[in-house]
Amino acid sequence: MAKKLMKGNEAIGEAAIAAGAINYFAYPITPQSEVAEYLCWRLPEVGGVFVQAESEVAVGNMLFGAAASGCRVFTTSSSPGISLMQESISYMAGAHLPVVLVNIMRGGPGLGGILPAQSDYFQSVKGGGHGDYRIIVLAPSSVQEAVDLVILAFDLADKYLTPVMLIGDGMIGQMMESVEFPAKYAKPATPEGKDWALTGAKGRASRIAKSLFLDPAKLEINSFKLADKYKEIQKSETRCELYKVSDDNKVLITAYGTMARICQTAIDELEEEGISAGLFRPVTLFPYSEKELYAESTKKNIKAVLTVEMSVGQMVEDVQRILKGKRRIEFYGRTGGIVPTPNEVKDKVREILKIKKTK
Partner 1 sequence: MAEITTIFKRPQSLSDNVTHYCPGCTHGIIHRLVAESLDELGVRERSVGVAPVGCSVLIYNYFNVDFLEAPHGRAPALATGFKRVRPDMIVFTYQGDGDLASIGTNEIIHAANRGEKFTTIFVNNAIYGMTGGQMAPTTMPGQKSTTTPGGRDVNLAGYPLRVAEMLATLRTPSFIARTTVYDPIHTVQAKKLIKKAFRLQIEGKCFSLVEVLSTCPTNWGLSPEAAAKWVKSDMMPYYPLGVFKDPEREEA
Distance CA 165, CA 174 (A): 18
Using a 10 angstrom Cβ sphere, with 0-12 exposed, 13-18 middle and 19 or more buried, the burial of residue 22 is buried
Q: Does 95 engage in binding with partner 1 (CB under 8 A)?
A: yes
Stretch that binds partner 1, among 9-17, 28-36, 192-200, 285-293 (CB under 8 A): 192-200
Count the site residues for partner 1 by CB under 8 A.
40
Q: Cα torsion at 194, 199, 203, 206 (round to 10°)?
A: 90
In order of 22, 193, 216, 305, 320, the CA distances from 323 in angstroms are: 42, 43, 36, 10, 5
Site for partner 1 in 15-74 (CB under 8 A): 23, 25, 49, 51, 53-55, 57-69, 71, 73
Beta pairing, strands 277-282 & 240-243? antiparallel
Task: Name the residue nearer to partner 1 (CB basis): 53 or 323.
Answer: 53
Task: Name the residue nearer to partner 1 (CB basis): 65 or 313.
Answer: 65
Answer for which of 37, 87, 273, 344 binds partner 1 (CB under 8 A) is: 87
Q: Does 202 engage in binding with partner 1 (CB under 8 A)?
A: yes
Q: Residue 177 Cβ, how far from partner 1 at the closest point, in Å?
A: 32
* DSSP code, position 308: E
Q: Residue 44 Cβ, how far from partner 1 at the closest point, in Å?
A: 13
Q: Does 91 engage in binding with partner 1 (CB under 8 A)?
A: yes
Question: How many C-beta neighbours within 10 Å does residue 213 have?
Answer: 14
* DSSP code, position 179: E
Q: Does 157 engage in binding with partner 1 (CB under 8 A)?
A: no
Q: Does 176 engage in binding with partner 1 (CB under 8 A)?
A: no
Answer for which of 4, 159, 207, 350 binds partner 1 (CB under 8 A) is: 207
Q: Does 84 engage in binding with partner 1 (CB under 8 A)?
A: no
Nearest Cα to 266, choosing from 279, 257, 256?
279
Q: Residue 24 Cβ, how far from partner 1 at the closest point, in Å?
A: 10
Q: Cα torsion at 343, 346, 347, 349 (round to 10°)?
A: 160
Binding site for partner 1 (CB under 8 A): 23, 25, 49, 51, 53-55, 57-69, 71, 73, 87-88, 91, 95, 198-203, 205-212
